[in-house]
Amino acid sequence: MNNIIGESNAFYEPLTPDNAAMLLIDHQAGLFLGVHSIDQQILKNNVIGLAKTAKAFNLPTVLFTSSAKGPNGPTIPELVELFPEHKIFDRSPINLWNDSNSRMAVEVTGRKKLIMAAITTDVCLAFPALSALKAGYDVYAVIDASGTWTIQAEMATMLRLTQAGAMMTNWVAVAAELKHDEDRSTTPAMNKAYSEHMGLYDFLSDIAAVNS
């Protein structure tokens, strides 16, 4: 056992458009109504910003629902409009990893880094995140594009996932990590998403325009 204080075998391997996939789990109209850990409109804004991030970097993106014909309802229309050609994988198992079609949809992306967001954080995000970690994936849990019934449940889930090895993050940080460098062809699309879903960036763009 290595007893040197501060020394770790962990290393930083950044997200890139070539190593990551996006999983958008159960962002369904009915489930939004039960979210109280974050303002529902802010959550919706963040989910759409995250989805546009996936589009900007052409990430393999998989959408999931649970019992969409029941009270959970359909995927919010903004996501359907962003990914009109994508099949949405509906399931009856609570943990999408226990549904063979859903799990296969993740596996066929060929990516080992999974960016995941879901409603609810403590169930629809936590369960597949833990399963993916066990299966050898790196999991990036996008907390501000996820939500649940109470702040206490959210905090408990963050602790549980962190202890299991998942990385807690937010949608802007995911986008910045994928962006990597302003001098890339993907920058205009990502800057547009920032302007539409992060108010501060819109102001910064105005300042840049005046000073150019």
Q: Which residues are catalytic?
A: 124
Between CA 118 and CA 148 the distance in angstroms is 9
User: SS3 string of the chain?
Assistant: CCCCCCCCCCCCCCCCCCCEEEEEECCEHHHHCCCCCCCHHHHHHHHHHHHHHHHHCCCCEEEEEECCCCCCCCECHHHHHHCCCCCEEEECCCCHHHCHHHHHHHHCCCCCEEEEEEECHHHHHHHHHHHHHHCCCEEEEEHHHCECCCHHHHHHHHHHHHHHCCEEECHHHHHHHHHCCCCCCCHHHHHHHHHHHCHHHHHHHHHHHHHC
Whether the upstream peptide bond of residue 157 has omega within 30° of 0, thus cis, is no
End-to-end CA distance of the chain: 56
